[in-house]
Structure formats: structure tokens, C-alpha cells
């Protein structure tokens, strides 16, 4: 195949967010210009697809220079190109409300029920549930299974998602085999945010909103890229303040963050 150098790669975790080198708005129907060096390997991230060449007649274009191959966006959004040592990553950042599972995403789900050795977990309201195997917990054996009730909240990783099969979650860290922070989230509250914002909070190493919150109070948090943020503090009022900060900060400008956080805490008498 002429596309040997283009490995589709959907592992978002590998994308370490830095300031993107370039950002342009693309729409479905556009063609993405490959700006990297032709010898450079390219990695396709979320929402970028390789369109099959239209003029080529089957196998004949083998070994030829892939002039007819083009990258197309599958959604409207901002095109990000990140230059790494080994590869250039092309992906499109766009905002949606509904989450579709993708392997290695960190998600927060609500247990809806169970059957056999599986729990049914909801990642989105009104979306088909995904599965969580009872053995996908650290040190789980037939005798030592987790006991989760309906309505409990779990933090997990999407371990498997293929077409026509229910997606599966796992609460084991694939590298260490230990819990790695996954599992039941006790207490606290869930906040729904837009998907792009959840990704931003998770991947941005020093998200200014969280930095501002850290200065105000002590809290535990887990961020799921399915647009759910779990937050827990010692005190009810503080939690409410945190919920309000996270929810309303989606529409803040970065320069107002400190002022707005202070305002919300002050309003609640903290």
C-alpha cells in the first residue's frame, strides 16, 4: 500500500499537549495540506482520515508516490499538527456533547446493572451502555470480586472498542497491573461539561482553572473525557463552589479566572 508510512493511530493519551504548532479551521469537504517534510512519518489522530485516491486503478499505484492520497477531516474543528521527534501528529480538535468510546480514553461511568460477569455502565445519558468485566479490577478473582451497586460511579479506561461490539472498560492500569487510581469513586459529585473542555482539563498540565481552585480549597478530582468530572471536598459548600467554578469556567476568558473564582467563593460565604 502506498500509505505504509501513514499509521492510523487513535491513542489520544500519547498526544502530549503542548502549544500546538499550527491551528487552522477545517470543515468536512476540505483537504488537509500535509505541511511536514515528505520523508517524515505522519500519525493520524482523532477525526482525520485518509481518503482513498480517486484516480488510481487498484494495485497499480503501489510503490508510486502517493500523490492522489489526501487527508480529509471527518468533522469541523481546529486542525492541530504536533511535531514530535519520530512523527508528526495530525488531529482535529472539535467540541461535541455526545461521547463515543475510544480505546485508552479515561472515562467516568455510572453502573446501571449487571449480568453474568459484567456490569453495564452508562457513559452518557441516552447512549447504549458499555461493559465492565468484574475481573477487570486489580487482584479480582472468582472469590474476590468487586461489589458495585447500581448507581455507583467508576473511573475506568476504555480497554476495547470495536464496531458492532459493546465497548469494554477496565479498571486496571495496563502497565503496572495495579489499580492506578481507577475504580469506585465514593462520595463527591459529578459535573457535566462539554467534551472538549473535559479533554482540556485532563491534558493541559497546568489548567489555570484547576490551579486557581487549588489555591482556594483542598479537593479530589477525576476527569473523564466523556464530559464528566468527579469532584470531592471535605465540605458541602466548598463542593458546590467547585461545581459552579467548573461549570461556569467553560465560558470564561483566561484573564477573568482568578476574579471569577474568588467571586463564586465569596458569594457562598467561603
Binding site for other proteins (CB under 8 A): 110, 112, 122, 125-126, 149, 151-153, 185-190, 230, 236-237, 239-240, 243-244, 264, 267-268
Nearer to other proteins, 95 or 244 (CB): 244
CB of 122 to other proteins, least distance (A): 4
CB of 93 to other proteins, least distance (A): 25
- CA triplet 53, 44, 7: central angle to 5 degrees? 75
H helices of the chain, in order, are: 195-203, 208-216, 236-248, 257-267
Contacts for 194 with CB less than 8 Å, ≥ 6 apart:
95, 96, 97, 227, 250
Taking CA atoms, 97 is separated from 89, 124, 192, 247, in Å, by 24, 9, 10, 14
Identify the burial level of 180 via C-beta atoms within 10 angstroms of its C-beta, where 0-12 means exposed, 13-18 middle and 19 or more buried: middle
Whole-angstrom Cα distance, residue 156 to residue 201?
17
Nearer to other proteins, 39 or 125 (CB): 125
Nearer to other proteins, 196 or 264 (CB): 264
Residue 151 φ then ψ, to 5°: 95, -5
Nearer to other proteins, 59 or 115 (CB): 115
CB of 140 to other proteins, least distance (A): 22
Nearer to other proteins, 58 or 151 (CB): 151
CB of 218 to other proteins, least distance (A): 17
Strand partners, 48: 73
- CA triplet 229, 123, 149: central angle to 5 degrees? 90
Contact of 30 with 71, CB cutoff 8 Å? no
CB of 172 to other proteins, least distance (A): 22
Nearer to other proteins, 209 or 243 (CB): 243
CB of 213 to other proteins, least distance (A): 16
Amino acid at each position: 500500500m502506498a500509505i505504509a508510512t501513514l499509521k492510523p493511530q487513535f491513542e489520544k493519551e500519547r498526544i502530549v499537549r503542548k502549544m500546538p504548532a499550527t491551528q487552522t479551521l477545517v470543515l468536512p469537504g476540505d483537504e488537509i495540506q500535509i505541511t511536514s517534510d515528505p520523508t517524515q512519518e505522519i500519525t493520524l489522530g482523532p477525526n482525520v482520515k485518509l481518503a482513498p485516491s480517486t484516480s488510481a486503478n487498484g494495485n497499480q499505484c503501489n510503490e508510486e508516490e502517493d500523490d492522489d492520497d489526501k487527508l480529509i477531516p471527518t468533522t469541523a474543528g481546529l486542525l492541530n499538527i504536533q511535531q514530535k521527534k519520530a512523527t508528526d501528529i495530525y488531529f482535529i480538535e472539535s467540541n461535541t456533547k455526545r461521547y463515543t468510546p475510544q480505546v485508552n480514553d479515561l472515562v467516568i461511568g455510572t453502573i446501571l446493572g449487571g449480568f453474568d460477569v459484567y456490569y453495564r455502565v452508562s457513559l452518557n445519558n441516552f447512549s447504549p451502555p458499555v461493559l465492565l468485566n468484574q475481573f477487570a479490577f486489580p487482584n479480582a478473582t472468582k472469590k474476590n470480586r468487586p461489589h458495585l451497586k447500581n448507581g455507583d460511579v467508576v473511573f475506568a479506561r476504555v480497554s476495547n472498542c470495536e464496531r458492532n461490539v459493546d465497548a469494554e472498560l477496565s479498571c486496571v492500569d495496563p502497565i503496572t497491573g495495579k489499580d492506578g487510581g481507577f475504580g469506585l469513586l465514593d462520595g463527591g459529585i459529578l459535573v457535566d461539561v462539554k467534551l472538549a473542555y473535559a479533554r482540556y482539563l485532563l491534558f493541559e498540565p497546568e489548567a489555570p482553572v484547576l490551579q486557581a481552585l487549588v489555591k482556594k480549597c483542598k479537593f479530589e478530582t477525576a476527569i473523564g473525557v466523556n464530559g464528566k468530572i468527579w469532584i470531592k471536598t471535605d465540605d458541602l459548600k466548598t463542593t458546590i463552589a467547585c461545581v459552579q467554578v467548573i461549570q461556569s469556567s467553560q465560558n470564561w476568558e483566561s484573564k477573568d479566572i482568578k476574579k471569577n473564582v474568588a467571586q463564586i467563593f465569596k458569594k457562598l460565604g467561603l
